[in-house]
Chains A and B, each alone.
Chain A
């Protein structure tokens, strides 16, 4: 059974940093592109970042470009999101999501980890 488990969220001051992790099990991580999607409290879904099979191709939403870095360690079956220069508007539940093999839809999602940016 596919499982994605995020960790690393918490309360951070504006300008601070945080690294999220997403542990994958039940499938071969290296066989899928992976994404981060966030959801501000009471709001909709917003795509954040994408990484290809081996980490050689990265893509970011304009809102996080230059501040966030996506990476993966296939040997550890883990996806990461390094976040720096955090702002209040980055407050959200961050989900890691697996991309389906036949299109950029997300066929499995983790439960999410809450990041709160506040002074």
Chain B
């Protein structure tokens, strides 16, 4: 199974500042047919289901604010919130879909400093 490791486990960022979350895959998630990385990012607010933010490592879902961006390739990926807003307080998960079983990172809790 591909193991997804997120860091840090939690971080506190001031409003308007940048938040950076890392995700490392135990194997490459590069999908050769389209040369894209099979990596998604989700946001989960308390008491709510997860929400897909980004797929293919860097493609934002429709309606997701452009302060959210994804980057990386192969085994190392990053989710960046360029200017943290109060409504961004949540747990963020990465997920690989290169192969089954589909696996998630352990989550990163983002709070306001």
- A interface with B by C-beta (< 8 Å): 35, 44-47, 50, 59, 61-62, 95, 100, 102-112
- B interface with A by C-beta (< 8 Å): 38, 40, 42, 44, 48-52, 55-56, 61, 93, 95, 97, 100-107
A103 engages B49 (CB within 8 Å)? no
Residue of B nearest to A100 (CB): B55
The listed residue (A103, A108, A110) touching B97 by CB distance below 8 A is A103
Once bound together, how far apart are the Cα atoms of A112 and B100, in whole Å? Answer: 22
Q: Is chain B's binding surface mostly helix, strand, loop or mixed?
A: loop
A44 engages B55 (CB within 8 Å)? no
Given the known inter-chain contacts A47-B103, A47-B104, A111-B49, please indicate yes or no for A104 contacting B97, CB distance below 8 A: yes
Once bound together, how far apart are the Cα atoms of A62 and B1, in whole Å? Answer: 11
Given the known inter-chain contacts A100-B55, A107-B61, A109-B50, please indicate yes or no for A44 contacting B104, CB distance below 8 A: yes
A45-B104, A50-B102, A100-B55 given; 9 more Cβ-contact pairs under 8 Å: A62-B101, A95-B49, A102-B55, A104-B38, A104-B97, A104-B100, A105-B52, A106-B42, A106-B52
The listed residue (A47, A103, A109) touching B56 by CB distance below 8 A is A103
Residue of A nearest to B50 (CB): A109
Once bound together, how far apart are the Cα atoms of A35 and B104, in whole Å? Answer: 14
Given the known inter-chain contacts A103-B55, A105-B40, please indicate yes or no for A44 contacting B106, CB distance below 8 A: yes
Chain A residues within 8 Å of B55, by CB: 100, 102-103, 105
Q: List 9 A-B contacts (CB under 8 A).
A: A45-B95, A45-B107, A103-B40, A103-B55, A105-B95, A107-B52, A109-B49, A109-B51, A111-B49
The listed residue (A102, A104, A108) touching B102 by CB distance below 8 A is A104
A44 engages B105 (CB within 8 Å)? yes
Distance from B108 Cβ to chain A, minimum over Cβ atoms (Å): 10
Chain A residues within 8 Å of B104, by CB: 44-47
Once bound together, how far apart are the Cα atoms of A101 and B38, in whole Å? Answer: 13
Chain B residues within 8 Å of A103, by CB: 38, 40, 55-56, 97
A110 engages B105 (CB within 8 Å)? no
Once bound together, how far apart are the Cα atoms of A50 and B50, in whole Å? Answer: 17
